[in-house]
Amino acid sequence: MLDSRERLGSLDKRGMLSTIEQMPKNLSEGVRLGTRMSLLRFSPSKVVVCGMGGSAIGGDLLCEWVSSISEVPCSVHRSYSVPSHIDKDSLVIVASYSGDTEETLNMFEAAQKKGARIVAIASGGELAHSAEKLGIPCAKIPTGMMPRASLGFMMGAMIGILERTQMVSSGEQVEETVRVLKSVIDSCKPSVKTADNPAKRLAHELMGHVPVVVGYGLSRPVAKRWANQLNENAKSLAFSSEIPELDHNEIVGWMKDGLSRGFAAVILDNEQGNSALSRRVEATKNMLTRVASVHRVKSLGRGPLAQMFSLVLVGDYVSVYLGILRGEDPSANEPIDELKSVLAKK
């Protein structure tokens, strides 16, 4: 089924698979947009990314990456307000692809009241309009995408913004990431038959199961991205978890509840240089194998950014292929649209 161009085209009506293949270019362009922003020289004491959904997940990845190369704390906030610790020495990145996300606009206003240094990222909407009116720098990214498909632009712009503050130096890592992403595309793109395509094979294996994507170290935020993409693109219940926390609570449910046989654990392997954690991951995998379907996806690349994005891109492909196997349009979002409509009426 996944090797049929007609089948893919009939369900992927808005070209989610084509959008996935733009990730390397989008990441490079996003970095360029961020580094070209008119920011005054500023050394933040902390970085806080404010956003929701597909616009915030780039912040999760950013903070994990920043923690591997910088001592400046970085966090993500999803709410209607901002943390009380934000002050004039904080860099607040407000990200909303549409520019009209209700919660994000509230955080934008709250950050202004705190006197924080604010930078916005949006394709337009109220956020871009307000930023321009107030003289707040805004990275304008292209319109016309689903928010979850804008990750390359969104995180790229965030990296560029931090580059602009001289908090990070990303050139070599971004270059490696682009090369690695092109390699992933070459092995997972639609024209590669299922027998040779790891993303198509995993989609078939997940069919009929509830995926629980397990990360550790660098892959911890990537697991959340996988679950979100499986929710939206595949229209499948999916959850994320992380090691070692999983071993202190969740492992009991896996091993003792018979319902676990209907679940599938997807472990996102990455180089993390910790032998104790490696032993724990292996022991956890062996236990889970006794009660559920277990799959492992290994990262590519040497740098942390390349490793994270290689796993991200495989997950994006898997989510779309699983959606097509389920007879779904990967780009459709009716439940979210319905909820927004209900809230708008109130």
- Give the residue numbers marked as catalytic: 232, 248, 340
Which residues on adjacent β-strands are paired with residue 95? 121
CA distance 275 to 42: 38
What contacts 24+ positions apart, CB below 8 Å, involve 273-280?
274/217, 277/216, 277/217, 277/243, 277/244, 280/243, 280/244, 280/247
What number of other Cβ atoms are within 10 A of residue 211's Cβ? 28
Which residues does 198 contact at the CB level (< 8 Å), separation at least 6? 187, 188, 297, 314
Can you tell me whether residue 255 is helix, strand or coil?
A: helix
HSE value, Cβ hemisphere, 13 Å, CA-based, for 92: 31
Contact 175/293 with Cβ under 8 angstroms? no
